[in-house]
Amino acid sequence: MAEDEIDETSKLPPDARLESLDERLDRAQRREAEKASSKVQDDPTYRVGQLVLSQLIGGPLGGGILGWLLDRWLGTAPWLMLGLLFLGFAGGMFNVIRISNNSSGAKSPEQE
């Protein structure tokens, strides 16, 4: 903020200074809203990328946690954890392949 604006606002009576502050806050909020609306998150490829990333992380992580819990409960040491970890990875890869085939060849309902 420039020093001129600070000097102008300090000379105003308290109510006018509050109104001036409200106006500046409204302008700043409008600028931020414009910036937020133009972000990449509106891009459909961004959403597909987020879905692929969640599948690649969530599958093995979920399988590993479930396997670890079952190993502790059944006393089978690392075997169930390793098996479900790889099963989660395979499931995540299967979902990624399904997503990539679905998004590249078929039209979405919005495009029809």
**pLDDT tens digits, one per residue of 15-35:** 777 788 888 989 999 988 887
Provide mean pLDDT across the span 61-77. Answer: 93
Question: So where are the chain's domains?
Answer: 3-37, 41-105
For residue 40, is pLDDT > 60? no
Confidence of residue 68 (pLDDT cuts 50, 70, 90): very high
Nearest to 52 by CA among 12, 94, 5: 94
The answer to whether 99 touches 55, Cβ cutoff 8 Å, is: yes
In whole angstroms, how far apart are CA 17 and each of 3, 44, 68? 15, 44, 61
Name the DSSP class of 108: P
Find which of 13-27, 33-47, 61-75 is predicted with most confidence, using mean pLDDT: 61-75
Confidence of residue 112 (pLDDT cuts 50, 70, 90): very low
Sequence-separated (6 or more) residues with CB below 8 Å from residue 62: 88
